[in-house]
């Protein structure tokens, strides 16, 4: 990705020099740099707010309540996971963070959930069905409130940033359901393999 951006910048400078608009290119670079700093600062507030909410939910036991509420669903989606596994709570936190558009906050939670699922994995050399399902759900990125995107739009001065909520909900819901369906279909073709010694190590 760095090479792509470097290539675009070099091409822009060359094109600007050829067309005699190098000053416009330089001004755009400076304006873009200033805008990126403003957007970054606008993200700090909303990210700090939602991360704080997630931490309060975790400390107050709300995450455990959410985990219990979605337990019937997780049993269907992650039928390989024991009911008392701590990974269910991690998956609940990961799903909640994604639902509120906190992709940066969801990443460490997703990694933690993956680590717990790997402990339950019988074949350490490949991903289990549960791990593939979690990856599919994260990739689909279901969002009730795209908080990060809204913060970016606010940072660039967009007049009505909340108008993206409905389209985002529709698109991510379709992607989310499709990802789950495809993961379930592929599970029928690639059954999990047991390790040679037959234990979980």
CA distances from 119 to 109, 113, 124, 200 (A): 16, 10, 8, 7
What's the pLDDT tens digit per position in 33-85?
A: 777 777 777 677 766 776 777 678 778 877 677 767 777 777 778 877 776 77
What is the Cα–Cα distance from 198 to 201, expressed in whole angstroms?
9
Which pLDDT value is given to residue 195?
Answer: 45
pLDDT tens-digit map of 113-169: 888 888 888 888 888 888 888 888 888 878 887 777 777 787 777 788 888 888 888
Number of H helices and number of E strands within the chain? 9, 0
Contact 148, 43 (CB under 8 A): yes
The rounded distance, in Å, linking the Cα atoms of 187 and 132 is 9
Q: How does DSSP assign 2-62, residue by residue? A: HHHHHHHHHHHHHHHHHTT-HHHHHHHHHHHHHHHHHHHHHHHHHHHHHHHHHHHHHHHTH
- pLDDT tens for each residue of 170-199: 998 999 899 989 988 888 877 655 544 444
- pTM of whole model > 0.75? no
């Amino acid at each position: 990705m760095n090479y792509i951006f470097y290539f675009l910048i070099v091409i822009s400078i060359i094109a600007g020099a050829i067309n005699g608009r190098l000053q416009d290119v330089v001004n755009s670079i400076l304006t873009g740099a200033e805008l990126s700093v403003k957007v970054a600062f606008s993200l700090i507030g909303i990210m700090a707010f939602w991360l704080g909410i997630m931490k309060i939910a975790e400390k107050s036991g709300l995450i455990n309540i959410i985990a219990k509420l979605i337990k019937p669903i997780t049993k269907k989606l992650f039928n390989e996971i024991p009911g008392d596994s701590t990974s269910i709570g991690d998956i609940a936190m990961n799903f909640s963070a994604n639902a509120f558009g906190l992709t940066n906050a969801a990443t460490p939670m997703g990694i933690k959930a993956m680590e717990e699922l790997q402990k339950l994995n019988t074949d350490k050399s490949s991903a289990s069905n549960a791990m593939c399902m979690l990856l599919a759900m994260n990739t689909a990125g279901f969002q009730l409130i795209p908080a990060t995107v809204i913060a970016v739009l606010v940072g660039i001065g967009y007049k009505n940033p909340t108008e993206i909520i409905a389209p985002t909900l529709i698109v991510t819901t379709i992607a989310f359901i499709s990802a789950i369906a495809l993961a379930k279909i592929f599970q029928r073709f690639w059954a999990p393999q047991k390790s040679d010694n037959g234990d979980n190590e």
